[in-house]
Amino acid sequence: MSALSSILLIVHVLSIIALMALLLLQFKKNPRKLHPAAMHSALTALVAGLAMVGLRTPLHTEDADKWPLLNNGWVGVKFLVLIAIIIIGFRNVKKPELKNSTWLTLVGLTTFNILIALFWK
């Protein structure tokens, strides 16, 4: 199960990187458009994250020193931020133009999600 957890972590991180890259590729475009792959990346990150949380309890039961239990506040905040990104994204993915404020909100929420992962211990 440890290998599966590592694979899920890699998929999760790559999905978030892809989401940020797809958003930043629109930086100089006029008009900006939300690429559908950005929503696929966000959903993949959500599924991989939920699977990692689900695997943590059996891993903790196996070896509590190596796999401590997760901070539920940390998981909850990351979950809510990712849900907000998905909702905003799906409301705007079919629009011919992405408003600057919407684009900045998506970039800000994605950056916030990355910063939570890096610095909230």
- Please give the pLDDT value at position 61: 83
- Please give the pLDDT value at position 71: 86
What is the average pLDDT score of the chain? 93
**Residue 36: other Cβ atoms inside 10 A:** 13
CB under 8 Å to 89, separation ≥6 — which residues? 34, 38, 39, 42, 106
Sign of torsion, CA 101 84 69 20? negative
CA dist., res. 5 & res. 59, Å (int): 9
Structure tokens at 2: 């440890």
Q: Which pairs count as long-range contacts for 42-48, CB under 8 Å and 24+ apart, including other chains?
A: 42/15, 42/82, 42/85, 42/86, 42/89, 43/86, 44/11, 44/12, 44/15, 45/12, 45/15, 45/16, 45/19, 45/82, 46/79, 46/82, 46/83, 46/86, 48/8, 48/9, 48/11, 48/12, 48/15
- Please give the pLDDT value at position 24: 96
Which tens digits make up the pLDDT trace of 44-67? 999 999 999 998 888 888 888 888
DSSP annotation of 34: -
Asked whether 57 and 1 are in contact (CB, 8 A), the reply is no
- Please give the pLDDT value at position 58: 85
Which tens digits make up the pLDDT trace of 97-114? 999 999 999 999 999 999
Q: What is the pTM of this model?
A: 0.90
